[in-house]
Structure 1
Amino acid sequence: MSTSAAAPSPPATGVSQRRAHGPDGARRSVQRLPIVAALARVALGLVFLAAAGAKLADLDMANGHLTRGIHLFAASITAQHVLPTVLALPAAWGVVLAETAIGLWLLSHHRERAAALAAGTLLCLFSVYLILARVQSGNASCGCFGRVSSGDLSFALARNALLVLLAAPSLWCSRTG
């Protein structure tokens, strides 16, 4: 009769694991979800920074005048009739600054859960805004990536939902708040 006890199983955390052998030959659990979460945060951070950059870099030559991206984005906001015209340019700058700040925050891997929550919240707010824009003006062209953005509401909402899903792993497995 053997008195050796079976090794205790790790607690169920919902995190996918694989077994690996350590240098001493003992089996070790290697968690994959934190790596997936980190990669998803990097991807999401880069998307936020690309969106902000596209809004700033977008240029248009109309009537012989060069119009900079932020003004094109503000004009898009004005055309949607959700905000008063006087708030369009401040809102455009606010969106670009929020996207830049959240993008950098996601890339910093500092307070991962809070960064992912901020990103998901902003994406949900963008989705609500797009729905309001469609109701108010019939125009749901977000200008999210400058003039290369699609005006299709279904596409924009699906894209935002997929981006929210990129934030989800960080909500489940982050080390810090």
Structure 2
Amino acid sequence: MKEIERKFLVTSEAFKELAFKKTRIVQGFLNTHPERTVRVRIKGTEGFITVKGIGNETGASRFEWEKQITVSEAEALLEICEPGTIDKIRYEVKATNHIFEVDEFFGENQGLTVAEVELHEEQEKVKIPCWIGKEVTGETKYYNSQLSKQPFKTWNDEN
């Protein structure tokens, strides 16, 4: 129940040609408290509810619990979520021994593309593909829970 991942900005669309899977995701948040978030997600034809805890000092590791629910349950829960829905397409791209999940955002977060790679341990070595840019692991403004409240299109140079 521990998630270890690194997060990066994406600098080009080259990943799309390499993707072996593409899935639409719509999600909302029942709770966006920084110490615990509760997410409701429809991923393709499946529904999920997820609880995430606060990240460690690097932001790479945190508690995560996820349970599959029906799409109709997810749709009902999305109706009572906090304002701000995340709409994105997730591309899965294999790069050496890792799979990068690349999220291309739409709606109020259009223009933002972020890649995440899950790790077995925090110090694990990762070969970074050429379409990856700045690392943003631990930068809370890139958390989906925060993007639902302060979307990418509202950012200015100070954000």
Whose strand proportion is higher, 1 or 2? Answer: 2
TM-score range, shorter chain: under 0.3
TM-score by length of 1: 0.24
TM-score by length of 2: 0.26
**Larger Rg belongs to:** 1
Q: Which one has more relative contact order, counting CA pairs under 8 Å at least 6 apart?
A: 2
Whose helix proportion is higher, 1 or 2? Answer: 1
